[in-house]
Structure 1
Amino acid sequence: MTSVGSGYDLSVSTFSPDGKIFQIEYANKAVENSGTVVAIRAKDGVVIGVEKIIPSKMLESTSNRRIHSIDLHVGIGIAGFLTDARQLVLRARDEAKQYKQVYGQPIPIKVLSQRIASFCHAFTLYGSVRPFGCSITVVGIDSYGPQLFLIEPSGSCIGYFGTAMGKGKQAAKNELEKVKFADITCREAIKLVSKIIYSVHDEVKDKDFELELSWISTESNNVHQMVPAPLKDEAETLAKQALEEANM
């Protein structure tokens, strides 16, 4: 056969001889072709930054969002197909709602992340479905403090201090490895995330983009929300200045 998987990519439930499931590999490829997402777990909260590619100048700035709130204390950042991610967002909201109805308290971030990861994994087990073509970061603050989890199309769910997804993943991770997460605050993390996303964006190859920033911290009263406009503008200005200095 002429396909890349030589016939082993026709079903999500078929392993290739070297132990790969090609449909999951293709889903990961969809994530790698998406705009960069960077998330940092600071000492007082968590920050998400998304490079939202603008396919048309007529697109409204508030549409096609890649950051969503699940509950007051939980947010999600998306890399990959938005249509697939929308199902995970709706599922996460249902899980958070049901947990609160049953136990009378907000759902812990780790529990929510593991439930969504199990939902993703279920779509890698049957030939009648395909994996979700997206990865998501789940962030929030609960009784254990600030939390950050990355969920991949395979159903993998891993906690991080800082992580990145999308086109500029590797370059962003190289920058994140230099950060002392125990000392950084959310305000500093906002500036750092902005700087990383502007530095990994390729102005020649890529289309224009809009920077989306959200945070949940003690300053936001432990509520997940978009970063206030003055703080976002300041972070973008500093990021652009740093980029110009680097180019010079």
Structure 2
Amino acid sequence: MSSNGTGYDLSASQFSPDGRVFQIEYATKAVAKSGTVIGLRGKDCVVLAVEKIICSKLYEDDAGGRLFTIERNIGMAIAGLLADGNFIADIARQEAANYRQQYEHTIPLEQLCERVSGYMHAYTLYSAVRPFGLTVIFGSWDEMQGPQLYKIEPSGSFYGYFCCASGKAKQQAKTEMDKLRFNMKAEELIKSAGEIIYKIHDELKDKDFRFEMGVVGKETNGQHCINPSVYTEMARNAGDAASKEEDSDNEIN
């Protein structure tokens, strides 16, 4: 077999001669074709924002959502295969429920990430299964730990972040995030989320998209809310304004 990977991509449990696991790389490519998802962590709030590409005008507005509530104070956003995301959301809810039943307390986000990432990593170890074509972003807030933001990769590795992104415009989103400052307040964080998603949307490739958002923090009394009307409208208005300003700048140049 040649060293370019021929024959080494049939199983997730096999390394290529140069130490690569191609099935995990393919899963990462599946994530890269998805609509962009970002997570922003502020002073007392975490915002998860999604660029949901509208594949058909016949779908209902809430069809194919990429935001989930796992626990009262824990939200989850996914980039990648939607079916895989629904499955992992169920696993995360089971883990959160098991912890609550055993300890009578909400599961700490880091422990939830450890359990879910371990589950995702197990699917990279055996030839009978395939890795999840999925990146998972968790956000939470509580009085003791404050805002927390974690991202799990298809390989099962996870890290804590101040800001993170996944999907087709991941790099552009990171460029916009580099301009932000940490410890922003909720309103500023929500507007920034809208501006980033609207700026990075590629109208030539994907004409129609729906902005969706999950918010958890002091402003929501520690409860994860999906598409709260006031905050979502605020983010969409900020995104529209930023997008129009960018278009006018491009026309002048």
TM-score by length of 1: 0.96
Q: 1:36 to 1:147 in 2, by over 3 A?
A: same
Aligned partners of 1:207 and 1:241: how far apart in 2?
Answer: 18
Q: Percent identity?
A: 46
Question: Could you tell me which residue of structure 2 aligns to residue 157 of structure 1?
Answer: 158
- The one-letter code of the counterpart of 1:40 is L
Q: Unpaired runs of 5+ in structure 1? A: none
- The one-letter code of the counterpart of 2:138 is V
Question: Could you tell me which residue of structure 1 aligns to residue 145 of structure 2?
Answer: 144
Question: Could you tell me which residue of structure 2 aligns to residue 118 of structure 1?
Answer: 118
Measured after TM superposition, the shift of residue 238 of structure 1 is 2.1
| 1:75-98 CA-partner distances (Å, limit 9, x unpaired) | 100100010111110000000000
Question: Could you tell me which residue of structure 2 aligns to residue 220 of structure 1?
Answer: 220
1:57 aligns with 2:34: no
Question: Could you tell me which residue of structure 1 aligns to residue 13 of structure 2?
Answer: 13
Aligned partners of 1:141 and 1:231: how far apart in 2?
Answer: 17
Question: Could you tell me which residue of structure 1 aligns to residue 251 of structure 2?
Answer: none
CA contact (8 A) 2:84 2:134 kept: yes
Aligned partners of 1:148 and 1:44: how far apart in 2?
Answer: 12
Measured after TM superposition, the shift of residue 240 of structure 1 is 1.2
CA contact (8 A) 2:35 2:168 kept: yes
- Root mean square deviation of aligned Cα: 1.5
Aligned partners of 1:74 and 1:150: how far apart in 2?
Answer: 13
Bigger shift: 220-229 or 126-135? Answer: 220-229
Q: Match of 1:49, SS?
A: strand
Give the paired residue count. 247
Aligned partners of 1:81 and 1:207: how far apart in 2?
Answer: 20
Q: Unpaired runs of 5+ in structure 2? A: 249-253
TM-score by length of 2: 0.94
| Regions of 4+ moved over 3 Å | none
Aligned partners of 1:145 and 1:230: how far apart in 2?
Answer: 23
Measured after TM superposition, the shift of residue 180 of structure 1 is 1.3
Q: For 1:165-204, what aligned pairs fall within 5 Å after superposition?
A: 165-182=166-183, 184-204=184-204
Q: Match of 2:220, SS?
A: coil
Measured after TM superposition, the shift of residue 181 of structure 1 is 1.2
Aligned partners of 1:245 and 1:154: how far apart in 2?
Answer: 39
- The one-letter code of the counterpart of 1:83 is A
- The one-letter code of the counterpart of 1:170 is Q
CA contact (8 A) 1:55 1:207 kept: no
